[in-house]
Amino acid sequence: MGGGEEPQATLDEAMNLVENRHHFVTEGEYPWVPVVFNDELCGASGNQDHVGTTSTVSATVQLNAGDVMRFDWAVSCREDFERLTFSVNGTEVAAISGQNTDFVPYNYVAEAAGEYTFSWTYHKETMWTEGQDRGYVKNVYAGAPLPDEIVEFAPDAVTVRKGLTAQLSWTVAPYYAFDQSVTLTSSDASIASVDANGVVRGVNEGTAVITATTAQGHTDTCTVTVIAPVPHTKIYAYQTQTTNLISFFTDDSAHVQQLGAFPADTYAMTYAHGVVYGIDSENNFFTSTPGSTQRTIIGQTGTAMITAMAYNYANGKIYAVGYTQQSRWDLYEINMQTGAATVIGQPDTVDRDPLWTFAITTEGRAYGITATSGLLYEVNLETAQVTEIGFTGCPGVGFCQSLVYDHDNGIMFWAAYWKDDANGLREVNLETGESVSIGDIQDAAQVCGGYTVPSWDDPTQPSNVTVTFNYMVNGEWTSTEVTVPAGTTPTAPVPENQPHQPTMLMFIGWDVDFANVQHDITVTAQYAALGDVDMNGEIQTADALLIARNAIGVAELTPAQMILADVYGSDGVITLNDALVTMRISLGM
């Protein structure tokens, strides 16, 4: 709310934490006034735009030794030139400057009993104005330290990998309680340990409870679940700092192997079926092999600068994101034979914030992270429409990045670079968008074009996969495992229909497509009661009517519904007799 709108309130009402506890005095040509700033009632200095002046407000109180003076303050001014100061009995003890527009607390402890005059002064030194050119103070309290009343963790449950750490967060209320400290303890330090700053470390897999205890003895708990450590997965990538192809393991990213120089900056690479596909800064589409700097140029992608690409194992296509000279960012399909890039559409992210990096899961779900807001989006590969997932915790990532999906372990890794002192390897939660640090990447700079070689798609490794079929026999669930070469289709067992009242449970298909299977999967048989054509769990008159409509040619049924509609004689033909029998069943006849 601007520099502050003047409300219908007195200065005492605006500055006191406790109503009318203290009286504030402001004199001179530029007195303090009550305002609403950032939706908060507070006192504000009055000498904005008046060079070489000061504006002061003060309060005189009696304190005992150990009593406190606490308040919240903020300032909006030219840093290091204008400032807001706090003084005790005429001696300056603290100051803030710059665009510190969020109110922050300050506490002063009286060393001896006596009368104290506390004053706040805004100093306007120069002719230049930045921000609102004002200081702000609110929630002033002087007296015995105020006690805490409650402590709360948020969130109250945290998951951390074995060997990694997570930062716990909690709030002591009221926020103006003098002692905000807590003591943190773990119910089982052999599972999860915690230090005084709330950094919890996963020691062994399991669950532990962290308890926070305030100075007044109030408590709250946070459940910490320690899961498996970071897997030992090799990532290949291009490192702009060294202009080299590199590799490192996800559980030891601090040690990078330099594999050799590439002839041009290569921001995008992906892997499939023994081949590395890449696009360099000169728009060359090339092929290579994992870990090799030798490449074969196939063709040109066009005018777009591709910043990330990924192979989709679900449909055998390569997709990419990039931009044109018109600063338009688009989703592309890349022709794997020629390298030609075909525009699918422009992702409609908030403010058209570009997706700088991009990856696709084994199941064919695509994700990208925006360049300035650090938001994770899911991307529709057919339309380029996006769905916002959440904030990664890393804003302003406008540099070369790399999302890398670990197909063996189902983990999205992110070689992030968002500011000089905060980059490295992170794990991204695809449900929430949150990311956690795994470790630094040696000589990090900007790591891009990352890819992994899935064990089930590695020509140097055995390529068999196992498909587990779950189905019913005599009313009981059983399983059959079928092992086949990756990329082939297994022969599935033939589930029989199962006894059921008042009809039969009919096998209507499998829940997962297992054609050309690329990795270990589990497939489960789907059943529905004979006559339950709408598959809502009940045989009703609506099912009979739907069968009748199909019998006279005015309604179509899916193949699964045709199985369920063949009630009379199971002869493969849907007639009004099927509808009549279903009606009788629905009526209990």
CB atoms within 10 A of CB 316: 12
pLDDT in tens, 177-186: 999 999 999 9
Q: How confident is the model at residue 100 (pLDDT cuts 50, 70, 90)?
A: confident
Q: Dig out the tokens for 411 from the structure.
A: 């983990």
Q: Which residues pair with 484 in a beta bridge?
A: 465
Host H or E run for residue 212 = strand 206-214
Across the range 251-259, mean pLDDT stands at: 92
pLDDT of residue 18: 86
Question: How confident is residue 197, by pLDDT bands cut at 50, 70 and 90?
Answer: very high
| Residue 424: C-alpha distances to residues 168, 253, 256, 409, 522 (Å) | 21, 8, 12, 20, 35
* One-letter amino acid of 290: P
Mean pLDDT of 301-323: 94
Which pLDDT band, with edges at 50, 70 and 90, does 485 fall under?
Answer: confident
Lowest-confidence region among 52-56, 160-164, 300-304: 300-304
Instruction: Give the residue among 147, 121, 3 at the shortest CA–CA distance from 57.
Output: 121
- Cα angle 505, 511, 514 (rounded to 5 degrees) comes to 130
Judged against a pLDDT cut of 90, whether residue 460 lies above it is answered with no
Structure-token match 């002046």, residue found = 53
> To 5 degrees, how large is the angle CA 248–CA 253–CA 255?
75
pLDDT, average across residues 59-76: 97
pLDDT at position 327: 66
Give the number of C-alpha atoms closer than 13 A to the C-alpha of residue 242, restricted to the C-beta side. 18
Does the global pTM surpass 0.75? no
Average of per-residue pLDDT across 373-387: 96
- pLDDT for 356: 87
CA dist 511 and 198 (Å) reads 44
**Residues 299-312: what's their mean pLDDT?**
93
Categorize the per-residue pLDDT at 46 as very low, low, confident or very high, splitting at 50, 70 and 90: very high
Are residues 120 and 93 in contact, defined by beta-carbon separation less than 8 angstroms? no
pLDDT at residue 426 in the model: 93
The predicted pLDDT at position 400 comes to: 80
Taking the chain, what is the end-to-end CA distance rounded to the nearest angstrom? 72
**pLDDT class of 1 with cuts at 50, 70, 90:** very low
pLDDT in tens, 72-99: 999 999 998 999 999 999 999 999 999 9
SS3 of residue 10 by DSSP = coil
Displacement of CA 159 from its chain's centroid (Å)? 14
d(CA 302, CA 102): 48
Distance, CA of 21 to CA of 114 (rounded, Å)? 17
Cite the beta strand spans of 395-434 per DSSP E. Answer: 402-406, 411-419, 422-428
Q: What single letter denotes the amino acid at residue 501?
A: Q
What per-residue confidence (pLDDT) applies to 480? 95
The whole-angstrom separation of Cα 122 and Cα 16 is 19
- Give all domains of the chain, ordered by start, each with its CATH number: 11-143 (2.60.120.200), 150-227 (2.60.40.1080), 234-457 (2.120.10.30), 464-586 (1.10.1330.10)
In sequence order, the 6+-apart residues with CB closer than 8 A to the CB of 340 are 299, 300, 301, 302, 334
H helices of 294-351, in order, are: none
Task: Decide if pLDDT at 2 tops 50.
Answer: no
231 has pLDDT over 50: yes
HSE (CB half, 13 Å, CA atoms) of 545? 3
Task: Output the pLDDT for position 4.
Answer: 61
Q: List pLDDT tens digits, range 327-371.
A: 688 999 999 999 999 999 999 998 888 898 999 999 999 999 998
Average confidence score pLDDT of the chain: 92
Would the pLDDT of 34 be above 50? yes
Span 319-328, pLDDT tens digits: 999 988 666 8
